[in-house]
Structure 1
Protein backbone atom coordinates (compact mmCIF):
# COMPACT_ATOMS: atom_id res chain seq x y z
CA UNK A 1 0.00 0.00 0.00
CA UNK A 2 1.33 3.41 -0.94
CA UNK A 3 0.95 5.91 1.90
CA UNK A 4 0.30 9.57 1.22
CA UNK A 5 0.98 12.47 3.57
CA UNK A 6 -2.43 12.14 5.24
CA UNK A 7 -1.93 8.44 5.96
CA UNK A 8 1.49 9.20 7.45
CA UNK A 9 0.05 11.98 9.63
CA UNK A 10 -2.74 9.68 10.80
CA UNK A 11 -0.24 6.94 11.69
CA UNK A 12 1.98 9.40 13.54
CA UNK A 13 -0.96 10.72 15.58
CA UNK A 14 -2.23 7.21 16.36
CA UNK A 15 1.24 6.12 17.45
CA UNK A 16 1.28 8.96 19.98
CA UNK A 17 -2.27 8.27 21.20
CA UNK A 18 -4.19 5.30 19.82
CA UNK A 19 -7.30 6.45 21.72
CA UNK A 20 -7.55 9.78 19.93
CA UNK A 21 -11.06 10.53 18.71
CA UNK A 22 -11.63 10.76 14.96
CA UNK A 23 -12.77 14.39 15.32
CA UNK A 24 -9.47 15.38 16.96
CA UNK A 25 -7.49 13.26 14.50
CA UNK A 26 -9.32 14.95 11.63
CA UNK A 27 -8.46 18.38 13.04
CA UNK A 28 -4.77 17.43 13.32
CA UNK A 29 -4.47 16.12 9.77
CA UNK A 30 -6.81 18.70 8.18
CA UNK A 31 -9.44 16.23 6.89
CA UNK A 32 -13.05 15.54 7.82
CA UNK A 33 -13.81 12.96 10.51
CA UNK A 34 -15.53 10.60 7.99
CA UNK A 35 -12.49 10.84 5.68
CA UNK A 36 -10.18 10.01 8.59
CA UNK A 37 -12.39 7.09 9.64
CA UNK A 38 -12.32 5.76 6.07
CA UNK A 39 -8.53 6.07 5.87
CA UNK A 40 -8.04 4.33 9.23
CA UNK A 41 -10.31 1.50 8.10
CA UNK A 42 -8.33 1.14 4.85
CA UNK A 43 -5.05 1.09 6.80
CA UNK A 44 -6.47 -1.63 9.04
CA UNK A 45 -7.75 -3.72 6.10
CA UNK A 46 -4.39 -3.41 4.33
CA UNK A 47 -2.62 -4.69 7.44
CA UNK A 48 -0.68 -1.46 7.97
CA UNK A 49 -2.41 -0.96 11.32
CA UNK A 50 -2.28 -4.34 13.05
CA UNK A 51 -3.70 -3.38 16.42
CA UNK A 52 -3.98 -0.86 19.21
CA UNK A 53 -1.98 -1.40 22.37
CA UNK A 54 -1.68 -0.04 25.85
CA UNK A 55 1.74 0.98 27.16
CA UNK A 56 2.39 0.30 30.83
CA UNK A 57 5.19 0.90 33.30
CA UNK A 58 6.12 -2.60 34.52
CA UNK A 59 7.68 -1.22 37.72
CA UNK A 60 4.31 0.27 38.72
CA UNK A 61 2.69 -3.16 38.59
CA UNK A 62 5.40 -4.90 40.59
CA UNK A 63 7.72 -5.93 37.74
CA UNK A 64 10.75 -3.62 38.08
CA UNK A 65 13.37 -6.05 36.71
CA UNK A 66 13.46 -5.72 32.92
CA UNK A 67 15.87 -7.94 31.02
CA UNK A 68 16.85 -8.94 27.54
CA UNK A 69 17.97 -12.56 27.23
CA UNK A 70 19.67 -13.98 24.17
CA UNK A 71 19.00 -17.69 23.83
CA UNK A 72 21.03 -19.83 21.45
CA UNK A 73 18.94 -22.79 20.32
CA UNK A 74 19.88 -25.83 18.28
CA UNK A 75 18.10 -25.71 14.91
CA UNK A 76 16.28 -29.02 15.34
CA UNK A 77 14.86 -27.94 18.72
CA UNK A 78 13.78 -24.46 17.65
CA UNK A 79 10.03 -25.13 17.33
CA UNK A 80 9.76 -26.91 20.65
CA UNK A 81 11.76 -24.21 22.44
CA UNK A 82 9.64 -21.47 20.91
CA UNK A 83 6.48 -23.18 22.22
CA UNK A 84 7.98 -23.37 25.73
CA UNK A 85 9.00 -19.69 25.64
CA UNK A 86 5.47 -18.71 24.55
CA UNK A 87 4.13 -20.44 27.69
CA UNK A 88 6.40 -18.49 30.07
CA UNK A 89 4.41 -15.65 31.67
CA UNK A 90 7.60 -13.68 32.45
CA UNK A 91 8.26 -13.26 28.72
CA UNK A 92 6.75 -10.05 27.34
CA UNK A 93 8.29 -10.31 23.87
CA UNK A 94 10.33 -12.82 21.91
CA UNK A 95 11.85 -12.18 18.50
CA UNK A 96 13.79 -14.47 16.21
CA UNK A 97 17.13 -12.96 15.18
CA UNK A 98 20.07 -13.75 12.92
CA UNK A 99 23.55 -14.35 14.25
CA UNK A 100 24.71 -16.70 16.95
CA UNK A 101 21.55 -16.35 19.04
CA UNK A 102 18.27 -17.60 17.70
CA UNK A 103 15.92 -15.80 20.10
CA UNK A 104 15.95 -12.43 21.80
CA UNK A 105 13.62 -12.52 24.80
CA UNK A 106 12.37 -9.47 26.73
CA UNK A 107 11.15 -10.11 30.26
CA UNK A 108 9.51 -8.26 33.14
CA UNK A 109 10.11 -9.74 36.59
CA UNK A 110 9.30 -8.86 40.20
CA UNK A 111 12.74 -9.63 41.71
CA UNK A 112 16.16 -11.14 41.04
CA UNK A 113 15.19 -14.65 42.26
CA UNK A 114 12.53 -14.74 39.53
CA UNK A 115 15.21 -13.84 36.98
CA UNK A 116 17.43 -16.59 38.31
CA UNK A 117 14.55 -19.10 38.00
CA UNK A 118 13.79 -17.98 34.44
CA UNK A 119 17.42 -18.28 33.38
CA UNK A 120 17.46 -21.77 34.88
CA UNK A 121 14.43 -22.73 32.79
CA UNK A 122 15.92 -21.28 29.61
CA UNK A 123 19.35 -22.86 30.12
CA UNK A 124 17.86 -26.30 29.54
CA UNK A 125 17.19 -25.24 25.92
CA UNK A 126 20.52 -23.57 25.13
CA UNK A 127 23.10 -21.01 26.12
CA UNK A 128 21.85 -17.71 27.53
CA UNK A 129 23.25 -14.21 27.75
CA UNK A 130 21.31 -11.88 30.03
CA UNK A 131 21.34 -8.08 30.06
CA UNK A 132 19.48 -5.97 32.62
CA UNK A 133 17.65 -2.98 31.12
CA UNK A 134 18.70 0.19 32.93
CA UNK A 135 16.98 2.73 30.68
CA UNK A 136 15.09 3.07 27.40
CA UNK A 137 16.54 6.19 25.81
CA UNK A 138 14.64 5.52 22.54
CA UNK A 139 11.21 4.02 23.23
CA UNK A 140 9.34 2.22 20.45
CA UNK A 141 8.46 4.63 17.68
CA UNK A 142 7.57 4.82 14.02
CA UNK A 143 10.40 4.71 11.45
CA UNK A 144 11.47 8.28 10.65
CA UNK A 145 11.04 7.66 6.92
CA UNK A 146 7.31 7.18 7.48
CA UNK A 147 6.97 10.70 8.79
CA UNK A 148 8.70 12.36 5.81
CA UNK A 149 6.53 14.09 3.20
Structure 2
Protein backbone atom coordinates (compact mmCIF):
# COMPACT_ATOMS: atom_id res chain seq x y z
CA UNK A 1 0.00 0.00 0.00
CA UNK A 2 1.48 3.32 -1.05
CA UNK A 3 0.66 6.94 -0.29
CA UNK A 4 -2.03 7.05 -2.99
CA UNK A 5 -3.85 4.04 -1.51
CA UNK A 6 -3.69 5.65 1.94
CA UNK A 7 -5.10 8.92 0.57
CA UNK A 8 -7.90 7.02 -1.16
CA UNK A 9 -8.77 5.16 2.06
CA UNK A 10 -8.87 8.36 4.11
CA UNK A 11 -11.07 10.08 1.53
CA UNK A 12 -13.47 7.13 1.26
CA UNK A 13 -13.67 6.81 5.03
CA UNK A 14 -14.73 10.45 5.22
CA UNK A 15 -17.23 10.06 2.37
CA UNK A 16 -17.84 6.64 0.82
CA UNK A 17 -19.96 8.21 -1.92
CA UNK A 18 -17.15 10.09 -3.62
CA UNK A 19 -16.99 9.54 -7.36
CA UNK A 20 -13.82 8.23 -8.94
CA UNK A 21 -13.42 11.64 -10.58
CA UNK A 22 -13.53 13.41 -7.21
CA UNK A 23 -11.22 10.83 -5.62
CA UNK A 24 -8.81 11.31 -8.52
CA UNK A 25 -8.81 15.07 -7.99
CA UNK A 26 -8.13 14.64 -4.27
CA UNK A 27 -5.25 12.20 -4.65
CA UNK A 28 -3.80 13.63 -7.86
CA UNK A 29 -4.28 10.56 -10.06
CA UNK A 30 -6.47 9.81 -13.08
CA UNK A 31 -9.99 8.47 -12.52
CA UNK A 32 -9.13 5.10 -14.17
CA UNK A 33 -6.07 4.75 -11.94
CA UNK A 34 -8.20 5.46 -8.86
CA UNK A 35 -10.87 2.97 -10.00
CA UNK A 36 -8.19 0.31 -10.43
CA UNK A 37 -6.72 1.01 -6.99
CA UNK A 38 -10.15 0.93 -5.31
CA UNK A 39 -10.92 -2.39 -6.99
CA UNK A 40 -7.61 -3.84 -5.74
CA UNK A 41 -8.33 -2.58 -2.22
CA UNK A 42 -11.77 -4.22 -2.37
CA UNK A 43 -10.42 -7.52 -3.75
CA UNK A 44 -7.73 -7.69 -1.07
CA UNK A 45 -10.31 -7.10 1.68
CA UNK A 46 -8.88 -3.76 2.83
CA UNK A 47 -12.21 -2.22 1.81
CA UNK A 48 -14.93 -4.63 2.91
CA UNK A 49 -17.99 -2.52 2.12
CA UNK A 50 -19.67 0.85 2.03
CA UNK A 51 -22.46 2.04 4.29
CA UNK A 52 -24.31 5.08 5.48
CA UNK A 53 -23.75 6.27 9.03
CA UNK A 54 -27.19 6.35 10.64
CA UNK A 55 -28.04 8.41 13.72
CA UNK A 56 -30.32 6.21 15.89
CA UNK A 57 -31.60 9.26 17.79
CA UNK A 58 -33.00 10.75 14.57
CA UNK A 59 -34.87 7.48 14.00
CA UNK A 60 -36.57 7.69 17.39
CA UNK A 61 -34.02 5.74 19.46
CA UNK A 62 -32.53 8.37 21.78
CA UNK A 63 -31.25 5.93 24.40
CA UNK A 64 -28.03 4.11 23.63
CA UNK A 65 -26.04 1.98 25.99
CA UNK A 66 -23.26 -0.55 26.11
CA UNK A 67 -24.02 -3.85 27.80
CA UNK A 68 -21.33 -6.31 28.82
CA UNK A 69 -22.69 -9.84 28.71
CA UNK A 70 -20.83 -12.71 30.37
CA UNK A 71 -21.90 -15.95 28.70
CA UNK A 72 -21.00 -19.48 29.72
CA UNK A 73 -18.51 -20.89 27.22
CA UNK A 74 -20.66 -23.82 26.12
CA UNK A 75 -23.61 -21.55 25.29
CA UNK A 76 -21.67 -18.81 23.48
CA UNK A 77 -22.58 -19.55 19.85
CA UNK A 78 -26.24 -20.19 20.64
CA UNK A 79 -26.44 -16.87 22.47
CA UNK A 80 -24.75 -15.04 19.60
CA UNK A 81 -27.38 -16.43 17.22
CA UNK A 82 -30.13 -15.14 19.51
CA UNK A 83 -28.50 -11.70 19.74
CA UNK A 84 -28.44 -11.43 15.95
CA UNK A 85 -32.24 -11.67 16.00
CA UNK A 86 -32.69 -8.78 18.48
CA UNK A 87 -33.31 -5.56 16.50
CA UNK A 88 -32.36 -3.35 19.46
CA UNK A 89 -28.76 -4.57 19.22
CA UNK A 90 -26.90 -2.33 16.77
CA UNK A 91 -23.40 -3.76 17.33
CA UNK A 92 -21.76 -6.60 19.21
CA UNK A 93 -18.09 -7.40 19.77
CA UNK A 94 -16.57 -10.54 21.23
CA UNK A 95 -14.03 -9.35 23.80
CA UNK A 96 -11.40 -10.68 26.19
CA UNK A 97 -11.64 -10.25 29.94
CA UNK A 98 -14.38 -11.22 32.32
CA UNK A 99 -17.15 -10.37 29.85
CA UNK A 100 -17.48 -12.30 26.64
CA UNK A 101 -19.56 -9.85 24.63
CA UNK A 102 -19.79 -6.07 24.40
CA UNK A 103 -23.21 -5.15 23.01
CA UNK A 104 -24.35 -1.72 21.82
CA UNK A 105 -28.09 -1.14 22.08
CA UNK A 106 -30.36 1.64 20.80
CA UNK A 107 -33.89 1.88 22.21
CA UNK A 108 -36.81 4.29 22.30
CA UNK A 109 -37.47 4.26 26.05
CA UNK A 110 -36.19 3.13 29.41
CA UNK A 111 -38.93 0.50 29.59
CA UNK A 112 -37.72 -0.98 26.30
CA UNK A 113 -34.16 -0.96 27.66
CA UNK A 114 -35.39 -2.78 30.76
CA UNK A 115 -37.02 -5.43 28.53
CA UNK A 116 -33.80 -5.87 26.52
CA UNK A 117 -31.73 -6.26 29.68
CA UNK A 118 -34.22 -8.80 31.05
CA UNK A 119 -33.93 -10.83 27.82
CA UNK A 120 -30.13 -10.67 27.95
CA UNK A 121 -30.04 -11.73 31.61
CA UNK A 122 -31.38 -15.16 30.66
CA UNK A 123 -28.08 -15.74 28.79
CA UNK A 124 -25.70 -14.55 31.51
CA UNK A 125 -24.64 -11.70 33.75
CA UNK A 126 -25.00 -8.16 32.41
CA UNK A 127 -23.44 -4.81 33.18
CA UNK A 128 -25.06 -1.80 31.51
CA UNK A 129 -23.50 1.62 30.88
CA UNK A 130 -25.37 4.52 29.28
CA UNK A 131 -23.76 6.26 26.31
CA UNK A 132 -23.81 10.02 26.90
CA UNK A 133 -21.49 11.13 24.10
CA UNK A 134 -19.13 9.78 21.46
CA UNK A 135 -16.09 12.06 21.72
CA UNK A 136 -14.11 9.87 19.28
CA UNK A 137 -16.28 8.64 16.41
CA UNK A 138 -15.42 5.44 14.52
CA UNK A 139 -12.29 5.97 12.48
CA UNK A 140 -9.68 4.07 10.56
CA UNK A 141 -6.46 3.07 12.31
CA UNK A 142 -3.26 4.90 11.49
CA UNK A 143 -2.08 3.93 8.04
CA UNK A 144 1.55 2.82 8.00
CA UNK A 145 3.90 4.05 5.36
CA UNK A 146 5.34 0.87 3.86
CA UNK A 147 7.17 2.49 0.94
- TM-score category by the smaller chain? over 0.9
Counterpart selection for 1:73 from 49, 63, 71: 71
Structure 2 length as normaliser, TM-score? Answer: 0.97
The 5-angstrom pairing of residues 81-120 of structure 1 reads: 81-120=79-118
The 5-angstrom pairing of residues 1-40 of structure 1 reads: 3-40=1-38
What is the CA deviation profile of residues 59-113 of structure 1, one whole-angstrom value per residue up to 9, with x for unaligned ones? 1110010110000000001011111111100001111000000000001111111
The residue number in structure 2 matching 1:63 is 61
Q: Is the 8 A contact 1:12 1:147 kept in 2?
A: no
Unaligned runs of 5+ in 1: none
How many residues align? The count is 146
1:58 shift after superposition: 0.8
Q: Is the 8 A contact 1:63 1:108 kept in 2?
A: yes
Q: Is the 8 A contact 2:2 2:145 kept in 1?
A: no
The residue number in structure 2 matching 1:124 is 122
Unaligned runs of 5+ in 2: none
What is the CA deviation profile of residues 111-145 of structure 1, one whole-angstrom value per residue up to 9, with x for unaligned ones? 1111000000000000000011000000000112x
| 3-state DSSP of counterpart to 2:126 | strand
CA distance in 1, matches of 2:54, 2:76: 30
Aligned alpha-carbon RMSD (Å): 1.1
